[in-house]
Amino acid sequence: MKGRKYDWFSSHFILAFAVVTAVSLVAMVFWELNHKEPVIDFRVLKERNFMLCTLSMLVMGMVLYGSTTLMPLLLQTLLGLHFHQRRVGPFPGGIVVVICMPIVGCC
């Protein structure tokens, strides 16, 4: 809510915290790669199959949670559905996820 109020990256406060976050992320990766016993071992990403699996799961999570977040807004703004009607839109996708999760877990 604060981002919309302060116009996202036009706000110096939000921009400063975004820079601090980016610098901290780079520093953490550098620290973990140069530490003898890292908490997060990024060296496992050298294995190609593990890296590709991790990236595909990252993309899948972004698509899954992004679409779950944006679908009600799409239904309300573009299709003109009422507030209570738009909550029904993601329901079929949720049913598919509930059915597929045990199948994917067994593989």
What does the mean pLDDT of the chain come to? 81
pLDDT of residue 1: 64
Q: Tell me the domain boundaries of the chain.
A: 1-40
Per the CB < 8 A criterion, the answer to whether 93 and 67 are in contact is: yes
pLDDT of residue 87: 67
pLDDT digits over 8-47, tens only?
Answer: 778 888 889 999 999 999 999 999 988 888 888 888 888 9
Q: Cα separations (Å) of 101 from 17, 74, 86, 96, 107? A: 36, 26, 25, 9, 10
pLDDT of residue 86: 65
pLDDT of residue 28: 92
Q: Which structure tokens are listed for 103?
A: 């199948």
